[in-house]
Amino acid sequence: MPYQHEPIALLPPAAADDRTLITHLTQLINKVYAVAERGLWIEGTARTSTEEMATLVRAGEIAVARVAGEIAGSIRVRRVPAGNGVPMGHAGDAGDAGDAGDAGGEGGAGGRSDAGDIGEFGMLVTAPAHRGSGIGRALIDFTEHHTRTQGLTTMQLELLVPQTWIHPSKATLHKWYTRLGYTPITTHPLPDSHPHLSPYLATPCDVRVYQKPLGPPEGVPAGTS
């Protein structure tokens, strides 16, 4: 069934103080990632924490999709600071990994770009009850539009992939991102950009960085920006 959505929107900073909301988002993300990245991390490794989620919401970086008032999916979006190679956080991807239409990815600055005009999305998840409804695509569309309205011209994401074997959900996500216009621009070992995460890996992994040109900023004709 197509996604019958309420308008997707960034959570207001004040929502960071809503402990019920923050706990729900944290549990949703950790539940989805546990399935989507099974075999990549040591059993029991959590994708995020309530403290991190509260920080991201307070920074205005978390958007949610709702169906009948309930959160059906969420995504993180931010601008990559100029010259900043600091990653977005726990590299990888999640979402509804069994359904490319509702899968997601962890954005980051692992591409070592000077950035400045680059946005990134990550921590994309769809609630299990809403898989196959197009929420993942709708959330990405929202982040691309939001990024373009900020005057940025490129969107970036990272995909965590095992070095020596093919992870089924990662292969599906690669195909999906490619269909959405994202192109791999570089690949590097996870420890290069996220050394603090190395002890939690169950298998050696690389970070594959994708980018997509978004065109000129909103309201700026092509060739004049």
Give the HSE-up count for residue 109: Cα atoms under 13 Å, Cβ half-sphere.
Answer: 19
Number of compact structural domains in the chain? 1
Q: Is 192 left (phi over 0), alpha (psi -120 to 50) or beta?
A: alpha
Mean pLDDT along residues 24-45: 96
Q: How many CB atoms lie within 10 A of CB 68?
A: 7
Q: What is the pLDDT of residues 159-198, one digit of tens each?
A: 999 999 999 999 999 999 999 999 999 999 999 999 999 9
Q: Give the phi and the psi of residue 223 in degrees, each rounded to 5.
A: 90, 0
Positive or negative: CA dihedral 211, 153, 86, 41: negative
Choose between 84 and 131: higher pLDDT. 131
Q: Is 115 exposed, middle or buried (0-12, 13-18, 19+ CB in 10 A)?
A: buried
Question: With contact defined as beta carbons under 8 Å apart, do 11 and 64 qualify?
Answer: yes
pLDDT at 218: 59
pLDDT at 186: 96
Q: Which residues contact 211 (CB under 8 A, 6 or more apart)?
A: 111, 118, 154, 155, 156, 182, 183, 185
Collapsing DSSP states into helix, strand and coil, what is residue 76?
strand
Choose between 24 and 112: higher pLDDT. 24
Q: What are the structure tokens assigned to 58, written together?
A: 């307070």
Choose between 83 and 214: higher pLDDT. 214
Q: What is the pLDDT of residues 90-99, one digit of tens each?
A: 444 454 433 4
- What does 43-55 look like in DSSP terms, one character per residue? TT--S--HHHHHH
Collapsing DSSP states into helix, strand and coil, what is residue 101?
helix
Residue 79 falls inside a structural domain: yes
Mean pLDDT along residues 82-102: 44
Residue 153 falls inside a structural domain: yes
Q: What is the pLDDT of residues 149-167, one digit of tens each?
A: 999 999 999 999 999 999 9
Q: Would you say residue 85 has pLDDT above 50?
A: no
Q: Would you say residue 204 has pLDDT above 90?
A: yes
Residue 1 falls inside a structural domain: no
Provide the CATH number for the domain around residue 91.
3.40.630.30
pLDDT at 27: 97
Which H or E element spans position 35?
Answer: helix 19-36
Residue 180 falls inside a structural domain: yes
* pLDDT band at residue 65 under the 50/70/90 scheme: very high
Residue 3 falls inside a structural domain: no
- 83: β partners: none
Residue-number span of the structural domain to which 153 is assigned: 9-213
Residue 50 falls inside a structural domain: yes
Choose between 109 and 122: higher pLDDT. 122
Per-residue DSSP letter, 93: -
Residue 219 falls inside a structural domain: no
